[in-house]
Amino acid sequence: MKTAVKSPESAVYRRGLGIFLTETPLAAAPKHFFRPLFPRNPHFPALRSVSLALSEASRRKQIPSSKLLAAKTVKPLKYVSDQDRSLMPDEINAQWAAKRIEGFAQEKDGKPFFLAVGFIRPHLPVYAPKKYFDMFPLGSVQVPVIKPGDDADCHYKDVYNSNQKGLRYFQLLKQSYPSTEAGLKAFTQAYLACVAFADDQVGVIVDAVDRSPFKSNTIIVFTSDHGFNIGPKDYLFKNAPWEESTRVPFIVRAPGVTKTGGIAEHPIALIDLYPTLAELCGLEGETRKNDQGRPLDGHSVRPFLTDPASMKWDGPAGAISMIFAGEDSKTGLSKEDLKDPMKQHWSLRTARWRYTRYNNGAEELDDHDADPHEWDNLAEVSEQAPAKADLKKQMLELIQPAKSEPDIPAVK
């Protein structure tokens, strides 16, 4: 098949709002540095053409391409060798944050600070400098445990068409390598390389905190907005309701509160981050800016930080994830439907169960005590009907907005 995307002569990758273009021809850079995700598929060239990337940036920022170039938000990438090259976006972010922490120390004004630092990797495309690929030789890479035909009792394909990214990417990966396992190995190696690369960047910031006067009074939280499904259920992407896609790291270092190495088992959700930080920092009072705001949701996870073995807290028994139904949907959603929480797909994870409910009413029920890979959908097993009904009730309580909310006057 032919593609409209021409084989690029320059390499491109995103840097937050900006974009790098290479000065060197693609062949001059090591292939692992700009690794093609689907090497045998022309629809996924390793690197998109400059004009395509520029037009995308232009569309996103709503600025003409010529202005982007003139404003130098698009910069050439220098690559001579791994030792002599432009920094990658995440490296720039990490170094910026480390410098900022040094700056806070020099200010000596005694004011507390909040610093949020985002990293792109291991987001697609899974590019990282070669040394991180070398840490995971292909022969040593373990791919996820996959049961053939596992997707047969799932309902994802009932609500999404085959063009949906996770379904499409898995098929493309299969087509791009001599075998599915070879494709999954290559992808997993790249994913691990990106995780190791991101881990190093986190280290740059943690080291900066530890060198600073803030070491013993700074809370560090490391988390992510989603996981990634690498192959199980013939799916390769985020945006799936299953364990690997909905699970995120949630690592907290809170001096005087957490102990090194503690692992809590109770499910929590990212909505709990804000109340947790507020409690740890002793912040009280109104959280709304004006009358349009709503009371703060979520619950502090402090009970699990002080005692990881605890299963008791003020929050719910399960964590919910919403999967946006709008992209490549088979279920015919209107523009209004896309804004309606009840028209999306939802998944609830408790300590034992995962209960998933699609917007067409189809259900999946997984018993993690017996089936950690979520291979057997028990939603139609009659003995599990009471458990399923209870999980559905818990899910609806978490999704549906409260009928009435306390009338708290907002701070002006």
CB 63 within 8 A of CB 19: no
Q: How far is the CB of 327 from Ca ion (least distance, A)?
A: 23
Retrieve residue 237's tokens: 């992407």
Interhelix angle 180-211/89-107, nearest 10 degrees: 10
Residues lying near Ca ion in the complex (CB under 5 A) are found at 150, 153, 375
Q: How far is the CB of 239 from Ca ion (least distance, A)?
A: 18
User: Where do we find the tokens 């999306």?
Assistant: 344
Name the residue among 165, 171, 291, 311 with its Cα closest to residue 240. Answer: 165
Q: How far is the CB of 365 from Ca ion (least distance, A)?
A: 11
Q: How far is the CB of 322 from Ca ion (least distance, A)?
A: 22
Q: How far is the CB of 174 from Ca ion (least distance, A)?
A: 19
**Which one, 46 or 154, has the nearer CB to Ca ion?**
154
**Which one, 34 or 355, has the nearer CB to Ca ion?**
355
**Which one, 56 or 153, has the nearer CB to Ca ion?**
153
Sign of CA dihedral 126, 188, 137, 26: negative
Cα separation, 118 vs 115, in Å, equals 10
Q: How far is the CB of 245 from Ca ion (least distance, A)?
A: 15
**Which one, 214 or 375, has the nearer CB to Ca ion?**
375
**Which one, 150 or 243, has the nearer CB to Ca ion?**
150
User: Where do we find the tokens 């947790």?
Assistant: 276
**Which one, 176 or 229, has the nearer CB to Ca ion?**
229
Cα separation, 113 vs 146, in Å, equals 45
User: Which residues, other chains included, contact 257 with Cβ-Cβ below 8 Å and sequence gap of 6+?
Assistant: 280, 302, 305, 306
Retrieve residue 89's tokens: 């976006």
